[in-house]
């Protein structure tokens, strides 16, 4: 089975970069990425490749090479489905905000809409690939919708979850630890579909990293991987609080623990709390699935990872208030960083949002600087919480273009995203322009304590 045309529905953080890399590596395949969001598609097509809607190191170069050659961005979803031999579904699967499973289950309405659109449009056989992260056994529902249209088209459903992390997406896609492909490996047609997708990745990924499984294992492995990663962060964050009470240092503990080859050093960096569009959503989904099978202990176990993370965000904000003599009312607090991690403009579930909201509830005046996040996004994130009116958010939060504007005349500075540029700031100048005592809170263990204390800062860092 030779794939000549690929369609990807969803031009977001996963669809865009993944398809750009497939197009770059497979010049003989036409790849069309479609989305109902016209603004997003227009941005992907922007003449100036630096204006593509997603900031990822190295991405604009890949897009520049392939766009217009065999990589296309379009809002014509029907045409792309019609033409494709293989269709990736890469739409968002957020936590449900209504009805049964509200606040827990994954909202699959966008997935179902895609399936119905494919069923309506397709005239020849298709391989449909789940790229979105989905609850285990979603492929069954997809197949049901696709097979019951009665137009004689045959579908193979594959699960091919994406493991890229934002900020390193291009490198993760170019050099993946593994590519997971789940399919109906008990049938000849299923095996052929799996092989077709394996052949695509084999253009640049060695065969031993291409892992094929049954569909359910693939779907569940994605949720499991995210749960394990998030659990490590919550585990080290739990220890960070104990470190602060005991005089241990969480970085030293993480290093000592991580040198055990059975544990390993990654994902043991204590922080103000994990954010991002995936960890919380996917664990909540896992909790929901476990509960729906009556596995209450399993559900409780994973839910604790989220509870610990919420605690960490709250605890950091509370520490600021407590340190500033138990009140931040009317005080100016500068937040450095809004993105959920460095090297991305994504702010979904960023700890900064919750820290800011907490401080605003305590009547602080908040100044924000982030090198990549747009001003409207910061207000939109706060408005989404519905804690106060959008007018009030705009009156009490100022977003500025340089870190020094944020920190000038402030009572305290808090580092919330580990952007490299924050390390090299002129901290002496910042200190001189702040009110005294000048408090500096490092939520990322980014800054060196000694030099900051020598300047004169009252320095607090997570986990020490
Ligand atoms: P996103 O919100 O950035 O992009 C999804 C896009 O799908 C949006 O642009 C939206 O307009 C579009 N869309 C929704 N319904 C559509 C429809 N019916 N037709 C056409 N377009 C439609 O989301 P994302 O971050 O790219 O995540 C997509 C999926 O990948 C999610 O399931 C997520 O859990 C998973 N995932 C995300 C990451 C990550 O780092 N962001 C990593 C791995 C997996
Ligand atoms: C994650 C998974 O890593 C990726 O495999 C999956 O496909 C999508 O979800 P992402 O959310 O983009 O990727 O970034 P990640 O690097 O995992 O960071 C998630 C959050 O955890 C960030 O807020 C980050 O700052 C935080 N984190 C990560 C820590 O606080 N400490 C760590 O040691 C690692």
- Encode pLDDT of 127-163 as tens digits: 999 999 999 999 999 999 999 887 889 999 999 999 9
**56, 114, 126, 162: which one is catalytic?**
162
Q: Whose CA is nearest to atom 28 of ligand 2?
A: 267
> What string of H, E and C letters represents the secondary structure of 106-160?
ECCHHHHHHHHHHHHHCCCCEEEEECCCCCCCHHHHHHHHHHCCCCCCCEEEEEC
Look at residue 117 in the predicted model and tell me its pLDDT.
97
In the annotation, is 319 catalytic?
A: no
Q: Is the CB of 344 under 6 A from ligand 1?
A: no
Question: What's the gap in Å between 411 CA and the centre of ligand 1?
Answer: 39
Look at residue 239 in the predicted model and tell me its pLDDT.
98
Task: Report pLDDT digits (tens) over 168-182.
Answer: 999 999 999 999 999
Q: Are 159 and 219 contacting, i.e. CB atoms less than 8 angstroms apart?
A: yes
Look at residue 149 in the predicted model and tell me its pLDDT.
81
Rounded Cα gap, residues 285 and 291, in angstroms: 10
Question: What's the gap in Å between 309 CA and the centre of ligand 2?
Answer: 13
Q: Is the CB of 165 under 6 A from ligand 2?
A: yes
Question: What's the gap in Å between 312 CA and the centre of ligand 2?
Answer: 16
What's the mean pLDDT in 283-298? 97
Q: Are 30 and 3 contacting, i.e. CB atoms less than 8 angstroms apart?
A: no
Look at residue 10 in the predicted model and tell me its pLDDT.
98
Look at residue 150 in the predicted model and tell me its pLDDT.
73
**Ligand 2 atom with the shortest distance to the CA of 269:** 33
**Ligand 1 atom with the shortest distance to the CA of 10:** 7
Look at residue 151 in the predicted model and tell me its pLDDT.
83
Task: Report pLDDT digits (tens) over 185-234.
Answer: 999 999 999 999 999 999 999 999 999 999 999 999 999 999 999 999 99
Question: Which pTM value belongs to this model?
Answer: 0.96
Rounded Cα gap, residues 66 and 50, in angstroms: 14
**278, 362, 365, 408: which one is catalytic?**
278
Looking at the chain, the number of H-run helices and the number of E-run strands are 18, 14
In the annotation, is 8 catalytic?
A: no
**222, 331, 332, 452: which one is catalytic?**
222
Q: Which helix (H) or strand (E) holds 8?
A: strand 5-9
Q: Which residues of 248-267 are buried (b: 16+ CB within 10 A; e: fewer)?
A: bbbbebbeeebeeeeeeeeb
- Of the given ranges (133-147, 258-272, 343-357, 441-455), which has the lowest mean pLDDT? 133-147
Question: What's the gap in Å between 380 CA and the centre of ligand 1?
Answer: 19
Mean pLDDT rounded to a whole number for the chain: 97
Look at residue 1 in the predicted model and tell me its pLDDT.
83
What's the mean pLDDT in 362-368? 98
Q: Is the CB of 268 under 6 A from ligand 2?
A: yes
Spell out where 24-135 has E strands: 30-34, 71-74, 86-89, 126-130
Instruction: Give the β-pairing of 439-442 and 179-183.
Output: unpaired
Query: What percent of the chain has a predicted confidence (pLDDT) above 70?
Result: 100
Q: Whose CA is nearest to atom 2 of ligand 2?
A: 165
In the annotation, is 222 catalytic?
A: yes
Token readout for 273 is 């709390």
> Of 402, 392, 385, whose CA–CA distance to 365 is shortest?
392
Question: What's the gap in Å between 287 CA and the centre of ligand 1?
Answer: 21
Task: Report pLDDT digits (tens) over 396-414.
Answer: 999 999 999 999 999 999 9
**Ligand 1 atom with the shortest distance to the CA of 93:** 32
Looking at residue 96, what DSSP letter applies? Answer: P
Residue of 35, 77, 118, 160 best suited for mutating to test ligand 1, as the one with most atoms within 8 Å of CB: 35
């Amino acid at each position: 089975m030779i794939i000549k045309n690929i369609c990807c529905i969803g031009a977001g953080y996963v669809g865009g970069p993944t398809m750009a890399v497939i197009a770059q590596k497979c010049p003989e395949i036409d790849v069309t990425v479609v989305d109902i969001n016209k603004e997003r598609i227009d941005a992907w097509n922007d003449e100036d490749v630096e204006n593509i809607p997603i900031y990822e190191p190295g991405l604009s170069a890949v897009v520049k090479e392939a766009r217009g050659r065999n990589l296309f961005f379009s809002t014509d979803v029907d045409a792309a489905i019609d033409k494709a031999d293989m269709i990736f579904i890469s739409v968002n699967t957020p936590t449900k905000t209504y009805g049964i499973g509200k606040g827990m289950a994954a909202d699959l309405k966008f997935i179902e809409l895609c399936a119905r659109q494919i069923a309506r449009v397709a005239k020849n056989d298709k391989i449909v690939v789940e790229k979105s992260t989905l609850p285990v056994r979603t492929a069954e529902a997809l197949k049901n919708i696709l097979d019951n249209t009665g137009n004689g088209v045959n579908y193979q459903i594959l699960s091919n979850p994406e493991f890229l992390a934002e900020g390193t997406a291009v490198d993760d896609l170019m050099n993946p630890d593994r590519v997971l492909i789940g399919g109906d490996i008990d049938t000849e047609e299923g095996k052929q579909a799996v092989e077709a997708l394996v052949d695509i990745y084999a253009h640049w990924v060695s065969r031993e990293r291409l892992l094929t499984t049954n569909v359910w294992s693939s779907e569940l492995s994605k949720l499991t991987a995210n749960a394990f990663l998030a659990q490590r962060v919550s585990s080290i964050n739990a220890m960070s609080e104990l470190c602060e009470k005991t005089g241990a240092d969480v970085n030293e503990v993480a290093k000592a623990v991580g040198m055990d080859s059975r544990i390993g050093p990654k994902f043991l960096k204590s922080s103000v709390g994990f954010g991002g569009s995936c960890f919380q959503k996917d664990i909540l989904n896992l909790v929901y699935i476990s509960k729906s099978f009556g596995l209450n202990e399993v559900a409780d176990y994973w839910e604790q990872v989220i509870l610990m993370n919420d605690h960490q965000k709250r605890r950091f904000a509370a520490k600021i208030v407590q340190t500033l003599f138990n009140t931040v009312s009317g005080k100016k607090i500068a937040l450095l960083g809004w993105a959920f991690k460095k090297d991305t403009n994504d702010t979904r579930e960023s700890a900064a949002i919750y820290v800011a909201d907490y401080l605003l509830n305590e009547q602080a005046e908040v100044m924000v600087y982030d090198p990549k996040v747009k001003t409207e996004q910061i207000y939109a994130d706060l408005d989404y919480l519905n804690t106060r009116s959008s007018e009030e958010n705009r009156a009490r939060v100022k977003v500025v273009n340089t870190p020094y504007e944020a920190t000038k005349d402030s009572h305290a500075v808090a580092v919330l995203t580990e952007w490299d540029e924050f390390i090299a700031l002129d901290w002496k100048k910042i200190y001189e322009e702040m009110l005294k005592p000048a408090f500096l809170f490092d939520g990322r263990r980014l800054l060196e304590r000694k030099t900051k204390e020598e300047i004169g800062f009252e320095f607090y860092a997570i986990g020490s």
